[in-house]
Homo-oligomer: A and B are copies of this chain.
């Protein structure tokens, strides 16, 4: 007989993983390498080192090591907010009247409000270790920028954040949190960079995109001595760092002999989903266990479900390396009515390969459905979720409802990536009944795809 599971499964400090797990090590078909847009050849460590920190370049290129040790300094920081709770959603189950057993790994339990801190502190650490003055980055919803600001404050490094203009305006308080942590925050596109000025000229009045902000941050990093660029999602290194989510989730479930049937995560660039599923996907790749894994994306930015699997730029300015991924085209910018994050045109190469090879599914949800689920969840489970996280909540609730119909006692695990305290403008729209949905037309997507680079 299995032990009774408490509301929250807390692991102890000693249970914080001592190594990250590198899911690429178990993939037969490795993710395709980043290409130099000039030569069309795989980026070398040296080339990548112009943009990224040396140690992070190593991690980016390493697709064979299964485990990479987490430096003690990073583990010490993790102790401030990890292990994060794994919650059994008893209240939600009861309210839904479902026989399903629902669990969520809650990563919003820190001031940055999301899982992004797991990789931010790692990237800041390696930058510090390399003797850099500071780092530059972009942020969309602001979670990554906040996380990086906290991490840089901890290591006393400079932090320059380019924030997607629509978020900058919708979330003035995010900016203040970053400033409180000592970061400088610039709305993107801005006139502080060459590429920003070009984008402003080509798209007057644009509300920005992650792709634009990345271009600006990369330009600043490569034009300033002692700076490197860091990124909160998409990259292999980020998925590596985020594997702590999945490792802890699995350890907590194992403690009570629980095996999930379905694992659900929201997907923008893939940082949370990739981290959450890592150890489970590892088992699946090694043929040791099977799980149904579902990526949930917004209907307004459907890279997996309506994109193409092809080489593309990671940024709008086309100065970044090319990545092979599911993409809508680097010129694609989600409609401004789309709230929250998950607005990147592409997707992690690792997850793209796994999706392409049939190891996971993907689905889309509409924004108003997402906020309905968010409000429902907030009232029942007592946590106000980030809009991003609510994509996973929506699908978890739908799956639990299916169990109610069929009577199946499935075990569902989803990632609750963060809190929505800085998303109240969007919640206000929902509360006022003026929130709208947006689904791009086929013509629109076709148009965005035209700029895909031609790679043989």
Does A427 make an interface contact (CB < 8 A)? yes
Contacting residues, chain B, for A424 (C-beta < 8 A): 172-173, 176-177
Known: A91-B80, A431-B176. A181 touches B8 (CB 8 A): no
Does A110 make an interface contact (CB < 8 A)? yes
Known: A6-B13, A421-B173. A181 touches B379 (CB 8 A): yes
* Nearest chain B CB to A82 CB, angstrom units: 9
Does A318 make an interface contact (CB < 8 A)? no
Contacting residues, chain B, for A428 (C-beta < 8 A): 172, 176, 179
Q: Is the CB of B8 within 8 A of A382?
A: no
Q: Is the CB of A111 within 8 A of B181?
A: no
Contacting residues, chain B, for A182 (C-beta < 8 A): 379
Interface size, A (range): 35 or more
Within A89-133, the residues touching B (CB, 8 Å) are 91, 109-111, 113
* Nearest chain B CB to A11 CB, angstrom units: 9
User: CA of A176 to CA of B177 in the docked complex: distance in angstroms?
Assistant: 19
Number of copies: 2
Within A1-35, the residues touching B (CB, 8 Å) are 6-8, 10, 12-13
* Nearest chain B CB to A210 CB, angstrom units: 23
Q: Is the CB of B181 within 8 A of A378?
A: yes
Q: Is the CB of B181 within 8 A of A80?
A: no
Within A352-375, the residues touching B (CB, 8 Å) are 375
* Nearest chain B CB to A298 CB, angstrom units: 20
Contacting residues, chain B, for A378 (C-beta < 8 A): 111, 153, 180-181
Can you identify 7 A-B contacts, CB atoms within 8 angstroms?
A: A8-B79, A111-B419, A113-B421, A154-B380, A172-B424, A173-B173, A182-B379
Binding site for B on A (CB under 8 A): 6-8, 10, 12-13, 77, 79-81, 91, 109-111, 113, 150, 153-154, 172-173, 176-177, 179-182, 375, 378-384, 419, 421-422, 424-425, 427-428, 431
